[in-house]
Structure 1
Amino acid sequence: MRPRTALLASASALALAAGLTLVTTATAGPQAAVAACKVDYTTNDWGSGFTANVTVANLGAEPLTGWKLTYSHSGNQQLQQGWNGSWAQSGKTVTVSGLSWNNIIPAAGSVSAGANFSYSGANARPTDFAVNGTSCTGLPPTTTPTPPTTTTPTTTPPPDGTAPALHVSGNRFVNATGTPVTLHGVNRSGAEFACVQGNGIFDGPMDAASVSAIKSWHTNAVRVPLNEDCWLGLDNVKPEYAGQTYRDAIKSYVDLLHQNGLVAILDLHWTQGVYTGNSSACTAVTSTCQKPMTDAAHAVDFWRSAATLFKGDNATVFDLFNEPYVDRAVSSGAWACWRDGGSACPGVGFEVAGMQTLVNAVRATGAANVILLGGLAYANDLSQWLQYKPADPTGNLAASWHSYNFNTCSSSSCWDATLAPVAAQVPLVAGEIGENDCASGYVTGLMSWLDQHGASYLGWTWNTWNCGSGPALISSYDGTPTAFGAGIKAHFLALN
């Protein structure tokens, strides 16, 4: 999505993998309510500090309102900054409680939060977890005089973990057994802008409940826009939102998506390079807006790092660059610039890394993940995509196309002329679809056309900002759709 001028990030959120499991059924509170809880605790440790990830699960039959988790460290661990909850520390005791949007844990539901800590010496795992004063120690009920007639579960069933490992076969994606897979999903914007703006890593919740809401629309894929400076930990980004911390947060979210059967599409969205020419979105060198093409200075390093991290995880797809618009900067030969970069890009203002260079960087790591390549005109023009398609030894390239009602190619006649030939030869993914009128008339017709051609598509975007800041699918992170989102949701449900 090109216009992104009024995006404000809230506290960031982090989803968690399974860790230490502590369960209790006990008497709690003045009403002697029976509570059942599970606390999962995992860390990403770099020697002098760590990111702590906690998940509080309500195993009871009633919603848990106003949750408050406490636990204690045995060393000199010191809270630095937290997200997805209200964090505090007094002495060795850490407290985290819910925010306005995650203060209620539904029956059989959970919430997740994360924080950064500094320390020296040992970093032992805490063991004294308590929720609202109820110790999660695995003790039996203290108020039950006789054995219960039914068994209280001590664990919650994990998500099914059926995210398909994709590869390209002809013009379709197929899974490991050769079954065709068409992606229907949403974009989850935030990680491309919150970090570089100093507001966190994500925009809104990225926990298990929020992923469950996405999945409830019958989606099977989520596209995650990323920031080059934050991923690489460049010095223009606050350390608490950059480098290893940022990469760990993205990895945790991808893991959570996979655990819920969702393909992750990692999109390099904002990159470096001074560009002041036609359609310039900003004049800064840093990754604070959409640039016309990827930069040779850092984009290769980004994709080499990301490919190394996700190599072997073929349920993760690489979208090499969000929306190229080098055709606005180069008077002729824009497609050659797109593929080859370097000297083929006069007038851009910085050295461009072409798509072939980025494909080579990914494949040099040994990663065989599917790669998406967006065309020109903000990924809306695929007219010469087949002619300039980069070489790929794995054969796992697909075309990425973005479509909004205000784009040049926004009619079925254009789709028939320029998209259908591409979709006949390689998988076609409409990585962003939307409209700027808070309605769904345009995308409804577009989705029907894409269905007829076996193409994949993802709505922009699973965020709650006003439609004036860009198409928003939801008005609440529980999955309540906007008028625009309602059309996409209804179409997804009808497909399934």
Structure 2
Amino acid sequence: MRYRTTTLAVTGGLLLAAAGAVLLPSPAQAAAGCQVTYTTNDWTSGPGQGGFTAAVTIKNLGDALSSWSLGFTFPGGQQLTQGWSANWTQAGAAVSATNMSYNGSLGTGASTAIGFNGTWSGSNPKPAAFTLNGVTCNGTTTSPPPGSPPPSSPPVSPSQSAPPPSGAAPRLKVSGNRLVTGTGAAYRLLGVNRSGGEFACIQGNGIWDGPMDQASITAMRGWKIRTVRVPLNEECWLGTGDVQAAYGGTNYQNAVKTYVNLLVAGGITPIVEMHWNYGQYTGPSAGCSDVKATCQKPMPDAQYAPSFWTGVAGAFKGNDAVIFDLFNEPYPERATGSAASGWACWRDGGTCAGIGYPVAGFQSLVNAVRATGATNVIMIGGLAYSNDLTQWLQYKPADPQNNIAAFAHIYNFNSCSNTSCYDAQLAPVAAQVPLSLTEIGENDCAHGFVDTLMNWADAHSVGYLGWTWNTWDCSSGPALISNYNGTATAFGQGIKDHLATVSA
């Protein structure tokens, strides 16, 4: 809209106490056993210290459970700071997690995913062992003594929000004209944008606009949102002199990492995106005359953009659940004077007529991402604020991973805003590469326009994301919610109702 990864894993069997069926004439012994997978995504915040996000998956190998309590001990003095999908507590080095009302029941072979954020000093070694319901992991499935009492099942509140998905967001890659998971299943990007990270920091107002916590993610899942696009600011990530230290550099990077990891752990695919960038532009359709990253510029700049993407790709490489969106809304054709020169500038960058700063073309940004070793899906939009994909296939950058997808932005006030244009300009792209409409919306606080658009996208296996999950006035611009509990605006209700029928 205009306006290091360290992975640690431990897997083993955990004994679980379970009960015999009460309808049998004599006590029956129930098989018990479990497997736990523990992985972390670590980052450094200073010399010899840092933070991490831990993803913990519990798989029940025995008879069905109706409740559980997980325990382990931090071996390196780590401190838990925030947890999700369980009731987390820490006493000294001992950590425990008990089930929520929606994930206490675990059938045989069933899994549940929980997680937490923490801090470390010196190092972040993995826990040596886990317990479940007080029994230490021993890698076997056994039966408890006859007469063992069954675990109680916690009450379920009828007003409770819909539970989050049973696992973390899937790893994704391009296969033909589809995004697919590690199992080869087709996967559409369906969800919303979460604005704030592009503007608050450069304006000196913080890092985000509103809460970026587990509660807000749970509210999103109540809408069956499974993709969230996170707009970022180039200068804030790099910590240039134009940004207050509290809101830039390491502080900003850690906040982004924490939120992205929360999304992944909650089953939501994050799209990290460079929204605002450095460079002065005062030509046609200029959003501002400021050299700082305070508005939408026509193209990424060669001074900072490659470093931005080297940093972002380095932060998330190895986690292919995260998608990279290279730039929000290019409009080089407005500056260069024609579509032909615009598309050349789009791909090749350099000195582009009408743009007063050296341009980073999208081929150079693909190269910067891949030079880090990152294999993540890369998304690129088109001209005219990503509303024009007419020559996208012709100018598509080369990628050694063959892992590039296209995106478009569609609003009711765009040039391409009707089904005949979608058929002519979008459908040919969607037939060859994965296509998602990463911003959709209308400026009348209604949803008739996006209803038609979403129906077209469903028929063409195209994904879409509503703009935006922020509590703004939907009569002055597309805003989906009136509070962060997920109360929909009139515009948002249309997208919420539609997601309920097509997403999971």
TM-score, normalised by the number of residues in structure 2: 0.71
Query: Are 1:170 and 2:212 matched, yes or no?
Result: no
Query: Are 1:445 and 2:455 matched, yes or no?
Result: no
Query: Are 1:243 and 2:249 matched, yes or no?
Result: yes
C-alpha distance in structure 2 between counterparts of 1:341 and 1:43, whole Å:
33
| Alignment check: 8 A CA contact 1:340 1:355 kept | yes
Change in CA separation of 1:108 and 1:410 when aligned onto 2, cut-off 3 Å: same
Partner secondary structure for residue 336 of structure 2: coil
Match of 1:309 in 2: 315
Change in CA separation of 1:268 and 1:59 when aligned onto 2, cut-off 3 Å: closer
> 2:82 aligned to 55, 80, 85, which one?
55
Match of 1:389 in 2: 396
Change in CA separation of 1:114 and 1:413 when aligned onto 2, cut-off 3 Å: same
Q: Deviations over 1:97-149 (max 9, x none)?
A: xxxxxxxxx9899xx99999xxxxx9999xxxxxxxxxxxx9xxxxxxxxx99
C-alpha distance in structure 1 between counterparts of 2:211 and 2:83, whole Å:
14
- Structure 2 residue ranges without an equivalent (≥5): 4-41, 52-78, 93-99, 104-114, 125-133, 135-148, 155-162
C-alpha distance in structure 1 between counterparts of 2:86 and 2:175, whole Å:
43
Change in CA separation of 1:313 and 1:352 when aligned onto 2, cut-off 3 Å: same
Q: Deviations over 1:10-37 (max 9, x none)?
A: xxxxxxxxxxxxxxxxxxxxxxxxxxxx
Match of 2:345 in 1: 337
Aligned CA RMSD, in angstroms, stands at: 3.1
TM-superposed deviation, 1:467: 1.9
TM-superposed deviation, 1:47: 3.7
TM-superposed deviation, 1:45: 3.7
- Structure 1 residue ranges without an equivalent (≥5): 5-41, 61-68, 73-105, 117-121, 126-137, 139-147
| Alignment check: 8 A CA contact 2:48 2:123 kept | no
| Alignment check: 8 A CA contact 2:83 2:117 kept | no
Match of 2:412 in 1: 405
C-alpha distance in structure 2 between counterparts of 1:479 and 1:263, whole Å:
19
| Alignment check: 8 A CA contact 2:390 2:425 kept | yes
Query: Are 1:46 and 2:21 matched, yes or no?
Result: no
In the TM superposition, what are the counterparts of 1:53-92 in structure 2 within 5 Å?
54-55=81-82
Q: Deviations over 1:54-87 (max 9, x none)?
A: 3378989xxxxxxxx9x99xxxxxxxxxxxxxxx
Match of 2:387 in 1: 380
Q: Which moved more, 1:462-471 or 1:369-378?
A: 462-471
C-alpha distance in structure 1 between counterparts of 2:240 and 2:296, whole Å:
17
> 2:461 aligned to 442, 445, 454, which one?
454
Change in CA separation of 1:175 and 1:373 when aligned onto 2, cut-off 3 Å: same
Match of 2:230 in 1: 224
Q: Which aligned runs of 4 or more in structure 1 are off by greater than 4 angstroms? A: 48-53, 56-60, 106-109, 112-116, 122-125, 148-153
Partner secondary structure for residue 287 of structure 2: coil
Change in CA separation of 1:277 and 1:448 when aligned onto 2, cut-off 3 Å: same
Query: Are 1:351 and 2:358 matched, yes or no?
Result: yes
Q: Deviations over 1:317-369 (max 9, x none)?
A: 000000001111111311000000103x1111110000001011111111111
C-alpha distance in structure 2 between counterparts of 1:201 and 1:328, whole Å:
31
Query: Are 1:427 and 2:441 matched, yes or no?
Result: no
Query: Are 1:473 and 2:494 matched, yes or no?
Result: no
| Alignment check: 8 A CA contact 1:299 1:358 kept | yes
Match of 1:160 in 2: 166
| Alignment check: 8 A CA contact 1:459 1:488 kept | yes
C-alpha distance in structure 2 between counterparts of 1:48 and 1:179, whole Å:
41
Partner secondary structure for residue 197 of structure 1: coil
| Alignment check: 8 A CA contact 2:474 2:489 kept | no
TM-superposed deviation, 1:419: 0.7
TM-superposed deviation, 1:438: 0.3
> 1:463 aligned to 460, 464, 470, which one?
470
Match of 1:495 in 2: 502
| Alignment check: 8 A CA contact 2:192 2:465 kept | yes
C-alpha distance in structure 1 between counterparts of 2:299 and 2:216, whole Å:
32
C-alpha distance in structure 2 between counterparts of 1:115 and 1:235, whole Å:
29
C-alpha distance in structure 2 between counterparts of 1:456 and 1:58, whole Å:
27
TM-score, normalised by the number of residues in structure 1: 0.72
| Alignment check: 8 A CA contact 1:59 1:108 kept | no
Residue type at the aligned position of 1:54? T
Residue type at the aligned position of 1:214? M
Match of 1:29 in 2: none
Residue type at the aligned position of 1:426? V
C-alpha distance in structure 2 between counterparts of 1:451 and 1:149, whole Å:
46
C-alpha distance in structure 2 between counterparts of 1:452 and 1:124, whole Å:
50
| Alignment check: 8 A CA contact 1:257 1:264 kept | yes
| Alignment check: 8 A CA contact 1:164 1:175 kept | yes
Identity %: 57
In the TM superposition, what are the counterparts of 1:173-188 in structure 2 within 5 Å?
173-188=179-194
In the TM superposition, what are the counterparts of 1:269-348 in structure 2 within 5 Å?
269-332=275-338, 333-343=341-351, 345-348=352-355
Residue type at the aligned position of 1:304? T
| Alignment check: 8 A CA contact 1:57 1:108 kept | no
Q: Which moved more, 1:375-384 or 1:464-473?
A: 464-473
TM-superposed deviation, 1:469: 4.3
Change in CA separation of 1:124 and 1:365 when aligned onto 2, cut-off 3 Å: closer
